[in-house]
Amino acid sequence: MFYLHGAFLLYLIAMLLIGLYFYRRTLNTSDYIIGSRNLPPAVAALSAGASDLSGWALMGLPGAIYIGGLSNLWIVFFTLIGVYINWQCIAPRLRVLTASLGDAQTIPEYLQNRFADNSNLLRLVSSLVILVFFTFYVAAGLSGGAVLFEKTFNIGFSAALLIGGLVIVSYTFLGGYLAVCWTDFFQGLLMALSLLVVALALLFFITGDTGHAVMFPGFSLADLRPEMGWFWGILSLSGWCIGYLGQPHVLVRFMSVRRPEDIPVSRRIAVLWTAVTMLSAVLVGLLGRSYFSTPLANGETIFIALSQAIFHPFVAGLIIAGVLASIMSTIDSQLLVCSSTLSEDFYRTYLRRNASDGEVLLVARLSVLAVALTGFYLANQKADATLLSMVAYAWGGFGASFGPVILFSLFWQAMTRLGAILGLVTGALVALLWNQNHGGLFDLFGVVPGFLAASVAIVAGSKWPGQTPPPAT
């Protein structure tokens, strides 16, 4: 256990040092919230990927393949499409428009400027959607990190929650956006490397003794058929693609790329990283059943179990730190988006319009603490809830609400302020209500009906009599 603990400790210290380094380089709110739009293409690509895939890539996806078989390969397919579309279609336009429309620092500010909303209502609605969904998202991430600490160090859930949370909150509080993106960059490298090393080691161990081809017991090509059948199954799984269009912690990476000309480089890096990470996760899930003769009680621990079974404890500690990295890389991004929303979209907009830059920066840092404390409370209250069930609300809500609004705002000039507001509210409500029901059509991924309903609401609201589209952008 000494080696395992030592590897973990080295990793956590490295993250804190990054936070301290960028604390000295964070001079104003633009630095803290969006890195002054100066993110290198590789950092933008990997930080977006790491903050989005999170623990799903290292625990959820290998577990889904280990338990459910090849039908879950569709998740990989649609995720890769979603990543490509995001960087190809959304990123270039969003980077240019957010800079040209009043140098918008946040998604709510961009929407307000895009639709010339002097009433601030659109900014208020979009800010509330972000805060509601991200609070649950942060709680889910903190809970997942606590479970990892609990199992690794054999300590109580509450203590594990406090330790893991303090590290994440510390470097986010200190270094802001730059610290988050650079830690996510290294965490993304660690995630991909961890999965790849375990997958290759498994191939060596399973085939090394016999030299024969790897066999995947219990799986066949027939398993590619989705659970809901080909039509409804594929339609449901497509939610993994369209959901990407509305994730604020990913969209902000597009806004902060150093130059629009850097985006094609970021796109290639992002797609390659996602492909390596997810295909390695699939191999871990498939080969895990060959390695363990007795099925694991919890399939989602297959990656951790293999790491501990194959490698020296110190190496296993570094690999398991990759799991923590995947969780941390999402929580820090969510904390920062909530922080920027509270400081820029609420405090400066509604409470102190003439607040100094230093004052707003202080509010942003205090907002990190406030959201984290709320997340701590919710995570403690829902200690027995599954990570996936807690994340489902946030992912579906963001994909269904912000996805259509961002897409239409970038490519449909006739869209109006009313259409944007109706799209946000309709998508969020449909996704939430859909997830409250089960069976039959309600087994469809909630982001799909939410996205469609929001799109209809956007068109209807924009075509409503008396609506005037904003000036051409």
Angle 353-125-356 from CA coordinates, rounded to 5°: 15
* Percent with pLDDT over 90 in the chain: 23
Fold annotation for 2-386: Sodium/glucose cotransporter (1.20.1730)
Delimit the domains of the chain by residue range.
Answer: 2-386
Angstrom distances, CA of residue 349 to CA of 30, 186, 340, 343: 16, 35, 12, 9
> Which of these, 96, 64, 57, lies nearest to 79 by C-alpha position?
57
Answer whether 0.75 is exceeded by the pTM.
yes
How confident is the model over 248-283, as pLDDT tens digits? 888 989 999 999 999 999 999 999 999 999 999 888
Return the structure tokens found at 53: 């895939």
Residues sharing a CB contact under 8 Å with residue 281, sequence separation 6 or more, in sequence order? 57, 58, 61, 62, 65, 195, 303
Beta bridge partners of residue 257, listed in sequence order? 39
DSSP 380-406: HHTTTS-HHHHHHHHHHHHHHHHHHHH
> Which of these, 87, 84, 109, lies nearest to 97 by C-alpha position?
109
Q: Are 34 and 256 in contact (CB under 8 A)?
A: yes
> CA–CA separation, 161 vs 147, rounded Å?
8
> CA–CA separation, 228 vs 65, rounded Å?
17
> CA–CA separation, 51 vs 184, rounded Å?
7
**DSSP classification of residue 72:** G
Angle 106-110-115 from CA coordinates, rounded to 5°: 155
> CA–CA separation, 220 vs 349, rounded Å?
57
Number of DSSP helices (H) and strands (E) in the chain, helices first: 19, 0
Residues sharing a CB contact under 8 Å with residue 455, sequence separation 6 or more, in sequence order? 404, 408, 423
> CA–CA separation, 399 vs 284, rounded Å?
28
Considering only CA atoms, give the Rg of the chain: 22
First-to-last C-alpha distance (Å) of the chain: 59
Q: Are 442 and 411 in contact (CB under 8 A)?
A: no
> Which of these, 83, 78, 72, 80, lies nearest to 282 by C-alpha position?
72
How confident is the model over 404-446, as pLDDT tens digits? 999 999 999 999 999 999 999 999 999 888 877 777 777 788 8
394 half-sphere exposure, CB direction, 13 A CA radius: 24
How confident is the model over 4-27, as pLDDT tens digits? 667 667 777 777 777 777 767 766
**DSSP classification of residue 469:** P
Residues of the chain with pLDDT under 70: 1-5, 7-8, 23, 26-27, 54-55, 144-158, 160-161, 164-165, 167-168, 171-175, 206-222, 322, 324-326, 328-329, 379-392, 472-473
Burial 250-260 (b: 16+ CB within 10 A, else e): bbbbbbbbbee
> CA–CA separation, 149 vs 428, rounded Å?
33
> Which of these, 170, 125, 154, lies nearest to 419 by C-alpha position?
125
Burial class of residue 292 (count of CB atoms within 10 Å of its CB; 0-12, 13-18, 19+)? middle
How confident is the model over 81-90, as pLDDT tens digits? 999 999 999 9
* Percent with pLDDT over 70 in the chain: 81
Mean pLDDT over each residue of the chain, to the nearest integer: 80
> Which of these, 465, 472, 466, lies nearest to 414 by C-alpha position?
472
Question: Assign residue 153 a region: left if phi > 0, alpha if psi is -120 to 50, beta otherwise?
Answer: alpha
Beta bridge partners of residue 39, listed in sequence order? 257
